[in-house]
Amino acid sequence: MCTRAALRTACQSLLPAGVAAFFHAAVLVGAACAQATPAIRGFAPARVAAQRELEETLKRVPHPAQAEKHLRALTSEPHMAGTEGGRRVAVYIRDQMRSFGLEAELVSYRVLLPHPVEVSLQLTAPEKKKLATPEEPFQADRDTSNPRAVMGFNGYSPSGDVTAPVVYANYGLPEDYKRLAELGVSAEGKIVLVRYGQCFRGVKVKVAEENKAAAVIIFSDPADDGYAAGDPYPRGPFRPPSGIQRGSVYYGFVYPGDPLTPGEAATENAKRIPAGQAQNLPRIPAMPINWRDAQEILSRMEGPRVPREWQGGVPVTYHTGPGPATARIRLKMDFQLRTIWDVVGKLPGTSDDEWVVMGNHHDAWVFGAVDPSSGTAAMLETARALGELARGGWKPRRTILLCAWDAEEFGLIGSTEWVEQHRSELQRKAVAYVNLDSAVSGSAFGSSAAPSLRELVRDAAREVSDPKTGRSVYDVWRERSQRGEGRRRATAGADPAPLQAGEPQLGVLGSGSDFTPFFHHAGIPSLDLGFSGEYGVYHALYDNFFWMKKFGDPDFTYHAAASRLAGILLLRLSESDVLPLDYAAYATEIERYVRELELTAGASGKGRLNLKPVSEGAAAMLAAAGHAAAAMNSAAVDREAALRINRALVTVEQELLSPQGLVGRPWYKHTIYAPGTYTGYAAVLLPGIREAVDRGDWETAQREAGVVAEALHRAAARLAQVR
């Protein structure tokens, strides 16, 4: 009988000899232990025991105290993109990675970033009152008195000076304006007041622009993240009356990244388009306010009483307007080319021909304890663990990159520019991208992922203990999933397939974080994960170290758990014989999407839309995936076969890209998923077809069906090479 202690002694004694000796030791020892050690997806039986020992060693390294130390440093000052505070955070991350033994460097880009000079709002009728009040400082939380905290503003709003009557438009969705029209209310020439929620804030501005509004005010309704949800800060974790949600209003659903260099890296000498030609910039002013200021406007509005579902938590009866409330918005924004700093850390593998990439952004609107620094603190602890393994003689099979992106908050800029600069190399080498944005705001695990990676996430969750219960993260997650919880960045109106009864479900990748350029533009299999909770101070001054210490993760045990999960994922992706990518599940899910689309098109599409070619493509991909899965299982012990299989597997996701991209937004190239034009964050499935159907554009829908069918057949052909 083989004991874990004996295995540890045998394998660790050979670690200094390098990965080749480690591999051969695993073969010898693993053969004796094959019956006693549970299998790992993608690993030859003889290597499983050694891999488990490697993972156990990694899991012992991340420590709550170290994660707390990192978070305190990362949140020690405001660090908005394009500021010296932002550069200092980047240098801290780089220096920490170097101290752990990784190669690390700063990578800079020159991008168009606006910083606010003046953001003012005044009620001009029926009486005059100065609004746009700042967030309230609290004595218990000294960070809330920091004079360098940026005022509440919306990134990429143009400057402007607008005086007009106010109209309330609920969440600012297309259907809300349709309802206003039914009530006899027009937004044309008006300042539109909308509440946060239901879609990305840039969508709210775009729809207002389409309805010829003069400007937009966005407020945080207490029904969504204030007192109606729970006790406001500092008594509780939710947004207080003065809390403001900052955020960009760029049109990222058209393209993310630097507005002036779409599709190209914003290097120093890059060719730039004029700002007036940038299709992802709004044309009307927009600003955020707290609900206390919104109450001053809403209480002075008349017109029709709003539909019941439009009534929020501000303690007044909501009316649509227009008038008699009239407001003046005055915005002065300083648009400049500013330098941003990505951090790229590297742990070289035995071969640099394959990469595993993990990342999170480091910029924040103010302090950003949850968003993004909880993910950065967790990633740094993972980096420390990998460095400890390397100091013990281990070297990864595949190169591991750990990246901290800048200017994500303005528009996924740092990651997008890096992907655009390295796209061809990424498409040759990258096997997966793991995203750790906002990794901890509570204890509830959730994840979204490409279908090919979902089983890998479930497997990793089985290996890490939940700090509160002592059970596995997987078991706790599974119970929550049965209640309809446990997803991140999921679709609107569509759930992932219920594959096995009782399995925890993962969401679908839309947008809103740095996986976007990897997945939607470069076709790299991607996933996003984290622990969430009652987090009501998103993008506010109050998302700081004090909030995390009091409410989010007081003992930082979930930061350490996130580090362990991330580490397991990296080790399995970097060390596996055959890449743990499940394309049979992917094809099955696509077949379901096609059936749902057929139901959506319904009678109106009969005779106008033929989805049979798409169904046939999905069937071809499923058949090829089934044969590939059999080959992957039989070839797991054959290193040459595994290398051949991996070369094919790593490009299957890329075959699902359309070279010409989506209609009207060619930067988005994935034919199966894209952030919705009118959601911004949530994904649309089979987006080229679905959005054309929604517009009633049957000619485009049929053409896009052909594009999707071709992509599916390309993916099937690539999978057929796995044998």
Measured distance CA(561)–CA(558) in Å, rounded: 5
Measured distance CA(712)–CA(715) in Å, rounded: 5
Q: Please say whether the dihedral angle defined by the alpha carbons of residues 504, 563, 377 and 357, taken in this order, is positive or negative.
A: negative
CB neighbours of 404 closer than 8 A, spacing ≥ 6?
90, 93, 342, 343, 359, 360, 361, 362, 376, 379
Longest CA pairwise span in the chain (Å): 86
* Strand-strand pairing, 430-435 and 526-532: parallel
CB neighbours of 373 closer than 8 A, spacing ≥ 6?
70, 71, 74, 75, 362, 364, 367
Measured distance CA(422)–CA(401) in Å, rounded: 13
Give me the half-sphere count of Cα atoms (radius 13 Å) on the Cβ side of residue 540. Answer: 31
Measured distance CA(144)–CA(139) in Å, rounded: 8
Structure tokens given for 474 = 């997987």
- Please say whether the beta carbons of 559 and 439 come within 8 A: yes
Token pair 């204890």: residue: 443
> Helix (H, G, I), strand (E, B), or coil: what is residue 683?
strand
Give me the half-sphere count of Cα atoms (radius 13 Å) on the Cβ side of residue 190. Answer: 23
Tell me phi and psi for residue 375, to 5 degrees: -70, -40
Q: Which of 135, 408, 589, 704 is catalytic?
A: 408
Measured distance CA(368)–CA(374) in Å, rounded: 8
How many Cβ atoms are within 10 Å of 145's Cβ, its own excluded? Answer: 11
How many Cβ atoms are within 10 Å of 644's Cβ, its own excluded? Answer: 16
| Interhelix angle 583-601/612-634, nearest 10 degrees | 170
- Amino acid at site 30: G
- Please say whether the beta carbons of 467 and 561 come within 8 A: yes
408 is catalytic: yes
> Helix (H, G, I), strand (E, B), or coil: what is residue 194?
strand
Measured distance CA(329)–CA(242) in Å, rounded: 19
Tell me phi and psi for residue 481, to 5 degrees: -65, -35
∠ CA 684-687-688, nearest 5°, is 165
Token pair 């498409």: residue: 427
Q: Please say whether the dihedral angle defined by the alpha carbons of residues 104, 109, 114 and 116, taken in this order, is positive or negative.
A: positive
Give me the half-sphere count of Cα atoms (radius 13 Å) on the Cβ side of residue 701. Answer: 24
- Which of the residues are catalytic? 408
